[in-house]
Structure 1
Amino acid sequence: MVGHFPEKAVHGGKVQELRRIFGHDFLDVSASMNPFVPQVRADFSCADLSRYPDDSYTELKEIIACVFSRNIDEICLGNGSAELIRVYCHTVLSRGDTAQIDPPTFAEYGLSAELAGAAVLPGTRLGDRVPAVRFICNPNNPTGHLLSRDVMLTELDRCTKAGTQLFVDEAFMDLSCPEDSITDVLSDNLFVMRSLTKSFAVPGIRFGFGFGSPDLIEQIETARTPWTINAFAEYYAKLAFAHYHELRGAAERIAAEREWYYARLDELGLSYERSAVNYILIHLNRSAAAFTRAMIDQGVLVRDCTSFGLPECIRVSVETRERNVRVLEAVAACLR
């Protein structure tokens, strides 16, 4: 094979694979879903499978436009966040470009940038090079760190002056502090991505959406594979956005449960990153891979953060109290 081809990104959410291997159910806290999901009553028999979806998805975009106070020509849709990241990179990046991605963060940014022909470097290694694209996950995965709206606007201004595109992944913002979102900002240098996956706990639906300038959105929609939003996803998304305002209550409940979780981790003598969202990065000071395997024996699946470059850390989602107690009991058993 001629040249370098990047390796596939490593993700969590492997409960299906583990069920096949070990033959029993797990409490999955590796994928960080909203534990307090709005009640969306979806009767999927209402989805019309006898016709192609409207590939412009105008009706769905009008609903999103109303929720976020944007114009429909500033909205694009994708088969989950991963498709939007991939299509964005193929639209904006060219061979020889540089993408700035500061670790640890979501691996799909780097993989998609490399597949588009770009070199991926953290800010500390850029030197005099001006990146074509700067990627920021806010709140960040896996640390849970949140940059304020003011900081993000300052970063956008810096990128604009440098001629750099700013890609902001706000997939977890609804479960954090929506006031810090910049989805309302229109700029030729900005693309903001959102998802229903985490906030409505529907990873099987595969639905992501993003905001940008009309010119950028037109290019992304052209590059996107036609009809990638299937009839089930389109139907569910329309229902979910009617409940979007309920996510604020979920974020408040998560914040309260997160503080309770910190106190229990303190009792166990574990250090962690203070998070702004529904997951916590825990420092183990031991092999995360071995600890993750021990947790599987306890019936709990956590996220081994070795693939993030953090071989002694795990990430756990903040769940309901009953589930959090079970996870912490398993953690305590594995620490002995």
Structure 2
Amino acid sequence: MHLKLIYSKKELYFLKSVFLSKVEHGGASQLCYAKHCKDVLDFSASLNPYPPDISWIPDMKLLLEYPDDSYYNLKKAIANTFGCPPEAVCVGNGSIEVIRTYFYATIEKNDFVRIDPHTFGEYSLSVQLAGGRCTVLDDVDSRVRIICNPNNPTGSILSSSELIEIARSLEESGKLLFIDEAFIDLADERQSMINKGISNVFVSRSLTKSFAVPGLRIGFGVGNPELIEKMEVIRPPWSVNAFAEDFAIKALENLDLLEKSCELIKKEKIWLYEQFERIGINYVPSAANYILLNIGADASLFSKKMLDKNIFVRDCTSFGLPRSIRVAVRTREENLILVEALEKCFQ
């Protein structure tokens, strides 16, 4: 006997959505079946090359109980750090879950969301999964505007005063502003839009990059408490595991140590700019811990040439930049290896 399935229009739309393509990300883990897996130096994932030593040791007792699904202690720690009430804070299994949850909570089917190119691909996918449509046009009546600050992959950054002006303009017309600050800890924290008193602004953050712990998925968001309450209902229970929560609380206590990381990253960026200019590679000056390079050739082929030299870079074709790559800023010893490989592949 065959079971006949009957779906509503809404269910059919969802089934269609789940067959959307996954977004490409950096990280050498995707090379796990390649010959380069063991020896590759990963410049595709933009992690802090100088993470603070916060002396965190996992407490194995945390495995014996479920996490507190309200995440009261973590939200309180975030609130105390950023000067906002705990009810304005949500958490997620990395910033990706925060992004997904936000759009399920804020848009309805066929709502437009403005996404300026070229930027992180997860925004577009999250909007489509939630039933929305994406646009790059300013004159389209969009429910939400997305700004990645600093932007990925360009590293460009808007000042908080510029963002406040944009937010106020959107607020007047009843629209929302989503700001992704995943890399702002390693750029310029002064430009953060957290706790600016503008009700239509939601800020997504991550501790993964700044503390170089990609294996611990730690994301959080700050926004209007009414929106946060809705997002917390949509979020799956216990989405942040006990180790991630424990590490996050410890990391927040040591957030000021990232100032030293920023100083060292800035020093390395200046050195890398000098090397790129010497080789003749065009680059985009970056506020973040990564740099966009226009290599003037097919980025996919160039990335393969770099991989043959055991250097994994981020092919930016998926960002709509088929002649560009993104490289992380790493330690001087590692950056020397990158520059040597670039020189050989750029000839």
Q: TM-score range by the shorter chain?
A: over 0.9
- What is the match of residue 26 of structure 2? 12
Matched, 1:85 2:96: no
- What is the match of residue 205 of structure 1? 216
Shift of residue 130, structure 1, vs aligned partner? 1.7
Q: 1:21 aligns with which of 31, 34, 40?
A: 34
- What is the match of residue 194 of structure 2? 183
- What is the match of residue 217 of structure 1? 228
Deviations 1:211-255 (A, max 9, x none): 001101101111100100111111111111111111122112211
- What is the match of residue 110 of structure 2? 96
The answer on whether the counterparts of 2:149 and 2:157 sit within 8 Å (CA) in structure 1 is yes
Deviations 1:150-173 (A, max 9, x none): 100001011101211100000100
Deviations 1:161-204 (A, max 9, x none): 12111000001001011111111213321100110011001111
Amino acid of the residue matched to residue 87 of structure 1? T
Structure 1 length as normaliser, TM-score? 0.96
Matched, 1:57 2:71: yes
Q: 1:305 aligns with which of 316, 320, 330?
A: 316
Name the SS for the 1:10 alignment partner: coil
Matched, 1:122 2:133: no
- What is the match of residue 119 of structure 2? 105
Q: Distance in 2 between matches of 1:24 and 1:249?
A: 30
Deviations 1:236-294 (A, max 9, x none): 11111111111122112211211111010000101111100100000011011011111
Name the SS for the 1:192 alignment partner: strand
Provide closer, same or farther for how the CA distance between residues 47 and 319 of structure 1 changes in structure 2, counting only shifts above 3 A: farther
The answer on whether the counterparts of 2:205 and 2:220 sit within 8 Å (CA) in structure 1 is yes
Provide closer, same or farther for how the CA distance between residues 166 and 47 of structure 1 changes in structure 2, counting only shifts above 3 A: farther
Provide closer, same or farther for how the CA distance between residues 321 and 150 of structure 1 changes in structure 2, counting only shifts above 3 A: same
Q: Distance in 2 between matches of 1:19 and 1:98?
A: 38
Matched, 1:266 2:287: no
The answer on whether the counterparts of 1:47 and 1:231 sit within 8 Å (CA) in structure 2 is no
Q: Distance in 2 between matches of 1:187 and 1:322?
A: 44
Q: 1:170 aligns with which of 160, 181, 185?
A: 181
The answer on whether the counterparts of 1:94 and 1:117 sit within 8 Å (CA) in structure 2 is yes
Q: Distance in 2 between matches of 1:199 and 1:158?
A: 31
The answer on whether the counterparts of 2:168 and 2:198 sit within 8 Å (CA) in structure 1 is no
Shift of residue 47, structure 1, vs aligned partner? 4.8
Q: Distance in 1 between matches of 2:12 and 2:118?
A: 30
Matched, 1:31 2:42: no
Shift of residue 2, structure 1, vs aligned partner? 6.0
Residue ranges of structure 2 left out of the alignment (5+ in a row)? 1-10
Q: 1:314 aligns with which of 315, 325, 333?
A: 325
Q: Distance in 1 between matches of 2:64 and 2:115?
A: 43
Amino acid of the residue matched to residue 78 of structure 2? I
Amino acid of the residue matched to residue 257 of structure 2? E
Shift of residue 17, structure 1, vs aligned partner? 3.0
The answer on whether the counterparts of 2:118 and 2:153 sit within 8 Å (CA) in structure 1 is yes
Q: 2:149 aligns with which of 113, 138, 144?
A: 138
The answer on whether the counterparts of 1:26 and 1:300 sit within 8 Å (CA) in structure 2 is yes
Q: Distance in 2 between matches of 1:24 and 1:246?
A: 31
Q: Distance in 1 between matches of 2:149 and 2:337?
A: 29
Q: What is the RMSD of the two structures over their aligned residues, measured on CA atoms?
A: 1.4
Amino acid of the residue matched to residue 328 of structure 1? V
Q: Distance in 1 between matches of 2:252 and 2:12?
A: 46
Deviations 1:292-328 (A, max 9, x none): 1111111111000000000000000111111111111
- What is the match of residue 86 of structure 2? 72
Matched, 1:324 2:335: yes
The answer on whether the counterparts of 1:193 and 1:211 sit within 8 Å (CA) in structure 2 is yes
Q: Distance in 2 between matches of 1:29 and 1:191?
A: 30
Provide closer, same or farther for how the CA distance between residues 47 and 250 of structure 1 changes in structure 2, counting only shifts above 3 A: farther
Moved more, 46-55 or 74-83: 46-55
Name the SS for the 1:96 alignment partner: coil
- What is the match of residue 238 of structure 1? 249
Shift of residue 29, structure 1, vs aligned partner? 0.8
The answer on whether the counterparts of 1:169 and 1:192 sit within 8 Å (CA) in structure 2 is yes
Shift of residue 335, structure 1, vs aligned partner? 1.3
Deviations 1:35-92 (A, max 9, x none): 1100022221345111110001111111111111111001000000110100100000
- What is the match of residue 148 of structure 1? 159
Structure 2 length as normaliser, TM-score? 0.93
Query: Identical aligned pairs, as a percentage?
Result: 43
Amino acid of the residue matched to residue 162 of structure 1? S
